Structures are given as C-alpha cells and as structure tokens.
Amino acid sequence: MNNFKNIFALCILSVLSYACGGSDTTPIEVFDNEAQALIDKDSLSSFFTKHYYDTTVDSVKTLVAGATPLSEDANLKTMNVTENEIDYELYYYIASVEDIGTPTIDKGFPTSLDSIFVKYEGFRINGTDSITPRFEIRETPIWFTLNSVIRGWSYGFTNFKNGDNVTDNGPITFENGGKGILFIPSGLAYGNSGTGGSIRSNENLIFYIRLFDFVKDTDHDNDGIPSWLEDPDGDGDPRNDDTNGDFFVNYLDGDDDGDGVATKDEDANGDGNPANDFSDPNNPTLADYLNPDIN
Ligand SMILES: [Ca+2]
Ligand SMILES: [Ca+2]
Ligand SMILES: [Ca+2]
Ligand SMILES: [Ca+2]
C-alpha cells in the first residue's frame, strides 16, 4: 500500500513540475480544433466543386465536362454536428443506384449508439484536390457498435436504412439497405493525432458504405433500457450521464443509481421496462432505477 501511495505522490509531483514549468521550457501547444474544423469545411467545400459521383463506376471522380459536381448534386446532404462544443458539417451521399430499395422489414434508422452490420472502403482526401489510394476495405460485412467508432461514423450511419437478410444456406447475403458515401472532416475522424499509421493528422476521409443491418434499440448493458434512452439529463447525448458517479456512464452501467439492485430488477410492475416504475411518493417523477432511495 505504501508503495502505491509513493507512486501516487510521484505522479502528483511530476504533474506539478510540468504544470509549473518556467518560461525556459517549451509551452505545450493546445491544438486549435475549432480553427481546424473551419479549414476542413473549406477543404471539403472545395473538394465538392471539383469532383462528382460517377454512377457507372459507383465512385467519386475528378470533375469532367458535363458532370454535376457534388456541390450541386442534390444527393449530397449536410448534417450539422456539435462535438466537444465545436460545430462540424458532416456530409453524406445517398447513392442512387438501382439495386437499393426499401427493406421488407424497415427498422427505420439506427441511433448513434446502435450496433451496425456493414461493409466499407476508406479513402483519405489529400488537400482539396485528390483522393489517395484506398487505406482500408472490408468486403465481408462486420459488426460495429456506433458508440466506439469515429464520430463521423456514429452520426453518419444514422442516415441509412437496414437491408433484408436473404441468406439461404449460403454466404450471408443482404438485399436493399443503406448505400452511400460519408465525407468526414478530420475532427470527426482521427483529428490532429491521426492514427499513427495510414491516416495522417487532420485528414478528411471518405468512406463508401453499405449498411446491411443494425440492432434497433441496442442495449449495451442489457439492463432493459435502450442505450440511446439512458440520457436522464435529456440533452440527446447518453455519453455524459453517470447518475451514481462511478465513472461508468449509465448506458454501460447495469446499476445506474448504485443502490445495489440491478437496473433490470428495478421493475416493480414486471413489464420488462425499468423506465416506467415510480415507487417513491416523495419523488414521484424519478424512476426507481435512478433513485437510490428505492431498492
Ligand atoms: Ca445526456
Ligand atoms: Ca444502465
Ligand atoms: Ca417497469
Ligand atoms: Ca433504485
């Protein structure tokens, strides 16, 4: 225990010595993410004037005479996103190809926390002018959960629909579903740090995506409340809610109020939904699973 304390004291000391560094040390530069967001917005806007979507090869290409630039293409949509108090514009293109129809079982659209089943290809945009060779491809579909990927994906995929699973004793096969392109500013991708690998700092990215399926109302902690609804402060972001302050946000916490009774068991009326049980006469609008006085 003493060793542990010493290590802790040392850490405090080193943190302080950094913080108190004199003028002879190089100041730690804080990267200006807000300025970069504006640079990226300009870069992408310029890119869209110089490129078009070529339906014959299903790709973004350098503009040629007679083609409609992406900047004037009605299929290119803008999604406004605020992340860490910085406003971003995320762009997505709904590919208008014949093989994409409405799914038989239409689940609507995934939330930014749902699990998705996708294929994709990723490209970097080099400045405003060129698309670099592909850095990643996934040809067999794979599951991701949108809470743990780059934010451009988390938000971007919420604009695409599921497909139909038509697998028949063969390889997994889907029809219909979401098909399109995400144009992601660096701040919603790998930011100033890049990946240390193929993606450098402050690079905007292009992903060609197919969304085959998703788990509607994904419930990460299996507590009976869909992750996107574990948002007691109601700001639309379940990533900032930690009712009992145990550093596990509610959507990843099976006992949200820390009263020792699992959230799924704070279901007085037994309907499988802990969000509609209010047993505390002194606090009649606070659900039991968020109320440590009720257990
Ligand atoms: Ca919230
Ligand atoms: Ca929970
Ligand atoms: Ca209930
Ligand atoms: Ca409780």
Task: Say if residues 145 and 220 touch (Cβ distance below 8 Å).
Answer: yes
Return the DSSP state at 68: P
Kindly identify the ligand whose nearest atom is closest to the C-alpha of 227: 2
Comparing CA positions, the residue from 97, 71, 112, 54 lying closest to residue 239 is 112
- Give the structural domain span for 167: 33-215
What separation in Å is there between the alpha carbon of 276 and the centre of ligand 1?
A: 19
Mean pLDDT to the nearest integer, 157-175: 89
The Cβ of residue 142 has, within 10 Å, a number of other Cβ atoms equal to: 12
Domain boundary at 193, 215, 237, which? 215
What separation in Å is there between the alpha carbon of 264 and the centre of ligand 1?
A: 20
pLDDT top residue among 237 and 99: 237
Q: Provide the CATH number for the domain around residue 161.
A: 3.10.50.40
Same domain, residue pair 44 and 166: yes
What separation in Å is there between the alpha carbon of 66 and the centre of ligand 3?
A: 60
- Within 82-241, where are the H helices? 151-156
Mean pLDDT to the nearest integer, 92-110: 80
Task: Say if residues 158 and 116 touch (Cβ distance below 8 Å).
Answer: no
Same domain, residue pair 224 and 140: no
Same domain, residue pair 192 and 234: no
24 in any annotated domain: no
Same domain, residue pair 231 and 127: no
175: confidence class by pLDDT, cuts 50, 70, 90? confident
Domain boundary at 171, 191, 215, which? 215
- Find the range with the poorest average confidence among 28-32, 87-91, 241-245: 28-32
Same domain, residue pair 206 and 136: yes
Total of domains in the chain: 2
Domain boundary at 215, 230, 264, which? 215
What separation in Å is there between the alpha carbon of 221 and the centre of ligand 3?
A: 17
What separation in Å is there between the alpha carbon of 231 and the centre of ligand 3?
A: 17
Same domain, residue pair 172 and 64: yes
CA dist 39 and 45 (Å) reads 10
Q: Does position 214 have pLDDT exceeding 90, yes or no?
A: yes
13 in any annotated domain: no
Cα atoms in the 13 Å half-sphere on the side-chain side of 112: 15
Mean pLDDT to the nearest integer, 147-165: 94
- Within the chain, where are the H helices? 2-19, 33-50, 151-156
CA dist 53 and 116 (Å) reads 25
